[in-house]
A and B are shown apart, each in its own frame.
Chain A
Amino acid sequence: QKEVEQNSGPLSVPEGAIASLNCTYSDRGSQSFFWYRQYSGKSPELIMSIYSNGDKEDGRFTAQLNKASQYVSLLIRDSQPSDSATYLCAVRGGDTNAGKSTFGDGTTLTVKP
Protein backbone atom coordinates (compact mmCIF):
# COMPACT_ATOMS: atom_id res chain seq x y z
CA GLN A 1 0.00 0.00 0.00
CA LYS A 2 1.34 3.40 -0.98
CA GLU A 3 1.69 6.01 1.75
CA VAL A 4 -0.40 8.51 -0.21
CA GLU A 5 -3.13 7.22 -2.50
CA GLN A 6 -4.96 9.09 -5.23
CA ASN A 7 -7.26 7.91 -7.99
CA SER A 8 -5.20 8.19 -11.15
CA GLY A 9 -8.21 9.19 -13.23
CA PRO A 10 -8.61 10.53 -15.71
CA LEU A 11 -11.37 12.60 -14.18
CA SER A 12 -13.41 14.43 -16.76
CA VAL A 13 -15.87 17.21 -15.92
CA PRO A 14 -17.70 19.75 -18.09
CA GLU A 15 -16.75 23.41 -17.93
CA GLY A 16 -18.46 25.15 -15.01
CA ALA A 17 -18.91 21.97 -12.97
CA ILE A 18 -17.33 21.08 -9.63
CA ALA A 19 -14.32 18.79 -9.77
CA SER A 20 -13.66 16.67 -6.67
CA LEU A 21 -10.21 15.20 -6.09
CA ASN A 22 -9.49 12.81 -3.25
CA CYS A 23 -6.45 11.62 -1.36
CA THR A 24 -5.90 9.19 1.51
CA TYR A 25 -2.74 8.76 3.54
CA SER A 26 -1.40 6.12 5.89
CA ASP A 27 0.73 8.04 8.43
CA ARG A 28 -1.52 9.13 11.30
CA GLY A 29 1.18 11.50 12.52
CA SER A 30 1.01 13.62 9.37
CA GLN A 31 0.69 17.32 10.12
CA SER A 32 0.69 19.22 6.83
CA PHE A 33 -1.16 18.63 3.60
CA PHE A 34 -0.66 20.22 0.22
CA TRP A 35 -2.21 20.20 -3.22
CA TYR A 36 -0.05 20.88 -6.23
CA ARG A 37 -1.10 21.33 -9.85
CA GLN A 38 1.21 20.05 -12.55
CA TYR A 39 0.75 20.83 -16.21
CA SER A 40 2.26 18.41 -18.69
CA GLY A 41 6.00 18.98 -18.99
CA LYS A 42 6.06 21.49 -16.14
CA SER A 43 7.00 21.32 -12.47
CA PRO A 44 4.45 21.14 -9.63
CA GLU A 45 2.83 24.42 -8.60
CA LEU A 46 1.48 24.83 -5.06
CA ILE A 47 -2.21 25.73 -5.02
CA MET A 48 -3.40 24.91 -1.49
CA SER A 49 -2.08 24.01 1.93
CA ILE A 50 -4.11 22.83 4.92
CA TYR A 51 -2.99 22.02 8.42
CA SER A 52 -6.10 21.52 10.56
CA ASN A 53 -9.36 19.62 10.24
CA GLY A 54 -12.13 21.27 8.27
CA ASP A 55 -12.36 23.31 5.12
CA LYS A 56 -10.06 25.97 3.72
CA GLU A 57 -11.23 28.09 0.81
CA ASP A 58 -9.13 30.11 -1.62
CA GLY A 59 -10.99 31.48 -4.60
CA ARG A 60 -12.45 28.60 -6.61
CA PHE A 61 -10.48 26.04 -4.58
CA THR A 62 -11.52 24.40 -1.31
CA ALA A 63 -9.34 21.94 0.55
CA GLN A 64 -10.96 19.62 3.07
CA LEU A 65 -9.10 17.68 5.75
CA ASN A 66 -10.31 14.88 8.00
CA LYS A 67 -7.44 13.55 10.08
CA ALA A 68 -9.56 10.91 11.80
CA SER A 69 -10.37 9.38 8.40
CA GLN A 70 -6.89 10.18 7.03
CA TYR A 71 -8.50 11.88 4.09
CA VAL A 72 -7.88 15.12 2.26
CA SER A 73 -9.74 16.44 -0.74
CA LEU A 74 -9.69 19.34 -3.18
CA LEU A 75 -12.80 20.84 -4.71
CA ILE A 76 -12.55 23.06 -7.77
CA ARG A 77 -15.68 25.11 -8.39
CA ASP A 78 -16.64 26.55 -11.77
CA SER A 79 -14.02 24.37 -13.46
CA GLN A 80 -12.28 25.90 -16.47
CA PRO A 81 -10.41 24.22 -19.34
CA SER A 82 -7.26 25.84 -17.94
CA ASP A 83 -7.71 23.69 -14.82
CA SER A 84 -6.93 20.61 -16.92
CA ALA A 85 -3.77 19.22 -15.33
CA THR A 86 -2.53 16.55 -12.93
CA TYR A 87 -3.24 17.30 -9.30
CA LEU A 88 -0.76 15.99 -6.75
CA CYS A 89 -1.53 15.44 -3.09
CA ALA A 90 1.45 15.80 -0.73
CA VAL A 91 1.59 14.87 2.93
CA ARG A 92 4.25 15.94 5.40
CA GLY A 93 4.81 14.18 8.69
CA GLY A 94 5.41 15.66 12.08
CA ASP A 95 8.46 15.59 14.37
CA THR A 96 11.14 13.36 12.87
CA ASN A 97 9.39 13.34 9.50
CA ALA A 98 9.05 17.11 9.29
CA GLY A 99 10.45 18.48 6.07
CA LYS A 100 9.97 15.37 3.96
CA SER A 101 6.77 15.38 1.89
CA THR A 102 5.35 12.21 0.40
CA PHE A 103 3.44 12.60 -2.85
CA GLY A 104 0.70 10.60 -4.43
CA ASP A 105 0.96 9.77 -8.11
CA GLY A 106 -1.64 12.38 -8.99
CA THR A 107 -5.10 12.56 -10.52
CA THR A 108 -5.40 13.78 -14.08
CA LEU A 109 -8.27 16.22 -14.54
CA THR A 110 -9.74 17.16 -17.90
CA VAL A 111 -12.25 19.99 -18.09
CA LYS A 112 -14.21 19.86 -21.33
CA PRO A 113 -15.49 23.11 -22.87
Chain B
Amino acid sequence: GAGVSQTPSNKVTEKGKYVELRCDPISGHTALYWYRQSLGQGPEFLIYFQGTGAADDSGLPNDRFFAVRPEGSVSTLKIQRTERGDSAVYLCASSEHGVTEAFFGQGTRLTVV
Protein backbone atom coordinates (compact mmCIF):
# COMPACT_ATOMS: atom_id res chain seq x y z
CA GLY B 1 0.00 0.00 0.00
CA ALA B 2 0.91 3.65 -0.19
CA GLY B 3 1.37 4.11 3.54
CA VAL B 4 1.56 2.26 6.83
CA SER B 5 -1.79 0.71 7.66
CA GLN B 6 -2.92 -0.18 11.17
CA THR B 7 -6.01 -2.10 12.20
CA PRO B 8 -8.23 -1.65 14.02
CA SER B 9 -8.37 2.13 14.35
CA ASN B 10 -10.06 1.81 17.72
CA LYS B 11 -10.25 -1.07 20.15
CA VAL B 12 -12.18 -1.17 23.41
CA THR B 13 -11.55 -4.18 25.59
CA GLU B 14 -12.24 -5.28 29.10
CA LYS B 15 -9.54 -5.49 31.72
CA GLY B 16 -7.89 -8.90 31.64
CA LYS B 17 -8.67 -9.62 27.98
CA TYR B 18 -6.18 -10.37 25.20
CA VAL B 19 -5.80 -8.04 22.22
CA GLU B 20 -3.95 -8.07 18.93
CA LEU B 21 -3.02 -4.97 16.98
CA ARG B 22 -1.96 -5.26 13.35
CA CYS B 23 0.47 -3.23 11.29
CA ASP B 24 1.00 -3.45 7.54
CA PRO B 25 4.16 -1.47 6.64
CA ILE B 26 5.04 0.35 3.46
CA SER B 27 5.91 -2.17 0.79
CA GLY B 28 9.61 -2.92 0.69
CA HIS B 29 10.39 -1.44 4.09
CA THR B 30 12.54 -3.85 6.05
CA ALA B 31 12.41 -1.99 9.37
CA LEU B 32 9.26 -1.82 11.47
CA TYR B 33 8.70 -0.11 14.82
CA TRP B 34 6.02 -0.10 17.46
CA TYR B 35 5.51 2.87 19.75
CA ARG B 36 2.78 3.87 22.13
CA GLN B 37 1.69 7.39 22.92
CA SER B 38 -0.21 8.73 25.88
CA LEU B 39 -1.93 12.10 25.90
CA GLY B 40 0.50 14.99 26.11
CA GLN B 41 3.58 12.83 25.65
CA GLY B 42 5.79 11.86 22.79
CA PRO B 43 5.77 8.35 21.33
CA GLU B 44 7.42 5.79 23.59
CA PHE B 45 9.51 3.11 21.86
CA LEU B 46 8.37 -0.49 22.30
CA ILE B 47 10.11 -2.72 19.75
CA TYR B 48 12.02 -2.60 16.46
CA PHE B 49 12.09 -5.31 13.81
CA GLN B 50 14.67 -5.65 11.09
CA GLY B 51 13.18 -8.20 8.73
CA THR B 52 11.60 -11.02 10.69
CA GLY B 53 13.64 -10.60 13.84
CA ALA B 54 13.23 -8.27 16.77
CA ALA B 55 16.45 -6.23 16.72
CA ASP B 56 15.55 -4.29 19.86
CA ASP B 57 12.69 -5.11 22.23
CA SER B 58 14.01 -3.08 25.13
CA GLY B 59 10.90 -0.90 25.25
CA LEU B 60 8.38 -3.65 25.91
CA PRO B 61 7.14 -2.83 29.42
CA ASN B 62 6.69 -6.39 30.67
CA ASP B 63 6.06 -9.94 29.53
CA ARG B 64 2.39 -9.26 28.80
CA PHE B 65 3.53 -7.54 25.62
CA PHE B 66 4.79 -9.50 22.64
CA ALA B 67 5.20 -8.73 18.95
CA VAL B 68 5.84 -10.85 15.88
CA ARG B 69 6.67 -10.29 12.25
CA PRO B 70 6.84 -13.81 10.84
CA GLU B 71 7.30 -13.03 7.14
CA GLY B 72 9.13 -9.74 7.45
CA SER B 73 6.13 -7.67 6.43
CA VAL B 74 2.96 -7.51 8.56
CA SER B 75 3.50 -7.30 12.31
CA THR B 76 1.17 -8.04 15.19
CA LEU B 77 1.49 -6.56 18.66
CA LYS B 78 -0.07 -8.82 21.25
CA ILE B 79 -1.08 -7.77 24.74
CA GLN B 80 -2.17 -10.35 27.30
CA ARG B 81 -4.21 -9.72 30.45
CA THR B 82 -4.78 -6.09 29.53
CA GLU B 83 -4.73 -3.48 32.27
CA ARG B 84 -6.31 -0.01 32.34
CA GLY B 85 -2.79 1.45 32.21
CA ASP B 86 -2.31 -0.09 28.78
CA SER B 87 -4.80 2.41 27.36
CA ALA B 88 -2.95 4.55 24.80
CA VAL B 89 -2.53 5.07 21.08
CA TYR B 90 -0.33 2.36 19.65
CA LEU B 91 1.66 3.60 16.68
CA CYS B 92 3.45 1.57 14.06
CA ALA B 93 6.12 3.00 11.76
CA SER B 94 8.28 1.59 9.01
CA SER B 95 11.43 2.64 7.24
CA GLU B 96 13.41 1.40 4.28
CA HIS B 97 16.29 0.50 6.55
CA GLY B 98 16.98 0.91 10.25
CA VAL B 99 18.80 4.19 9.72
CA THR B 100 16.44 5.98 7.33
CA GLU B 101 13.34 8.06 7.95
CA ALA B 102 10.40 6.32 9.55
CA PHE B 103 6.78 6.90 8.55
CA PHE B 104 3.89 6.33 10.89
CA GLY B 105 0.53 4.70 10.44
CA GLN B 106 -2.64 6.31 11.76
CA GLY B 107 -2.43 4.41 15.03
CA THR B 108 -4.74 2.17 17.04
CA ARG B 109 -6.45 3.76 20.01
CA LEU B 110 -6.70 1.08 22.71
CA THR B 111 -9.05 1.63 25.61
CA VAL B 112 -9.12 -0.86 28.45
CA VAL B 113 -12.25 -0.55 30.60
Contacts and interface: CB of A to CB of B under 8 A. Distances in A.
The answer on A and B forming one complex is yes
B73 to A, nearest CB: 17
Contacts of A88: 42-43
A100 B44 CA distance: 10
A48 to B, nearest CB: 9
Contacts, number: 57
Interface stretch (A63-71, A72-80, A103-111): A103-111
B50 interface: yes
A46 B50 CA distance: 20
Give chain A's interface secondary structure class. Answer: strand
Interface of A: 4, 31-32, 34, 36, 42-46, 49, 88, 90, 92, 97-106
Given A43-B107, A99-B33, 13 more contacts: A4-B42, A32-B99, A34-B101, A43-B89, A43-B104, A44-B104, A46-B101, A46-B103, A46-B104, A49-B101, A99-B50, A101-B45, A103-B45
Interface pairs A-B: 7 shortest CB-CB: A103-B42, A99-B98, A99-B48, A43-B104, A105-B42, A43-B107, A103-B43
